[in-house]
Homo-oligomer: A and B are copies of this chain.
Amino acid sequence: MSKPLILISNDDGITSKGIRVLVETMKRLGDVVVVAPDGPQSGMGHAITIGNTLRLEENEIFGDVSAYECSGTPADCVKIAKHFVLKDRQPHLVVSGINHGANTSISVLYSGTMSAAIEAALEGTPAIGFSLCDYSHEADFDHAVEYVDRIAKTVLEKGMTKGVALNVNIPPRRNESIKGIKICRQANAKWQEDFDQRHDPYGRRYFWMAGNFINHDKGEDNDEWAIANNYVSVVPCQYDLTAHHAISILNDEWDI
């Protein structure tokens, strides 16, 4: 059997440490093609480039691995990979990351890492977004490799439920070793913003948005609990945003 084709993207940009770790790990599992943003695209959510042009350039940063940097968002990268770079070749797996920072709970909405994975799921390709829950500059990605490898292999082997992409978060390196992998739901938590008002040298005000993460979820079956208890969390995510349970409520309550 020929080797599987694996497409890699991310949102931290093609020169980031996390994507290098992902490339090294995926090279052992298949033929790898990288299409990643040419700079940081954190917090871009599922943005795409409309009304503006895109650049795409080959990049030799990964040696013999075919790689391209794109001026667009992570979702753009997956689209241009599928419809221009790979054309008639279909990837067997799309992986995104490894993000430098957590994408647990509600952060999945804002995450460029996960938008690449969800975009791939939309195209019917099994897809995984990997994130390391460590914001420090010296974040150590080494302990993530074992889990990235194991989860990617499992998805290559078993496939993925239609319409689903996986959101995988990996605890930071601690003294304690990682306890294992938990299939979870997205925790009910949110960011509480704070706007820091300042004035520029011309006297005009501007703001920095800063946020505190607040966890409202008391359950033990969610990704926040898993990370806090030193498990790798795996949340299956879908792009059907319909709140199906609310359809009958609206049909019952509304009289319009």
Q: Which residues of A contact B (CB under 8 A)?
A: 40, 42-51, 53-56, 75-76, 79-80, 82-84, 106, 108-110, 115, 118, 122-123, 150-151, 154, 158, 161, 163-164, 167, 181, 183-186, 188, 190, 193-195, 197, 204-209, 234-247, 249-251, 253-256
Contact of A247 among B123, B183, B207 (CB under 8 A): B183
A58 vs B122: C-alpha distance in the bound complex, in angstroms? Answer: 40
Known: A47-B110, A209-B48. A242 touches B250 (CB 8 A): no
**Distance (Å) between the CB of A218 and the closest chain B CB?**
16
Question: Would you list 18 pairs from A and B whose C-beta atoms are within 8 A, ordered by A residue?
Answer: A46-B46, A54-B208, A54-B209, A55-B206, A79-B193, A79-B195, A108-B241, A158-B253, A158-B254, A161-B243, A161-B249, A163-B243, A167-B241, A185-B247, A188-B240, A237-B241, A238-B242, A238-B243
Contact of A234 among B76, B110, B250, B253 (CB under 8 A): B250
**Chain B residue with the shortest CB-CB distance to A181:** B256
Contact of A45 among B42, B46, B82 (CB under 8 A): B46
Contact of A236 among B118, B204, B250 (CB under 8 A): B250
Asked if A164 and B243 make an inter-chain contact with CB atoms under 8 angstroms apart, the answer reads: yes
Known: A45-B47, A46-B46, A164-B243. A194 touches B83 (CB 8 A): yes
Known: A56-B207, A256-B150, A256-B151. A185 touches B244 (CB 8 A): yes
Asked if A193 and B242 make an inter-chain contact with CB atoms under 8 angstroms apart, the answer reads: no
Contact of A183 among B193, B245, B251 (CB under 8 A): B251
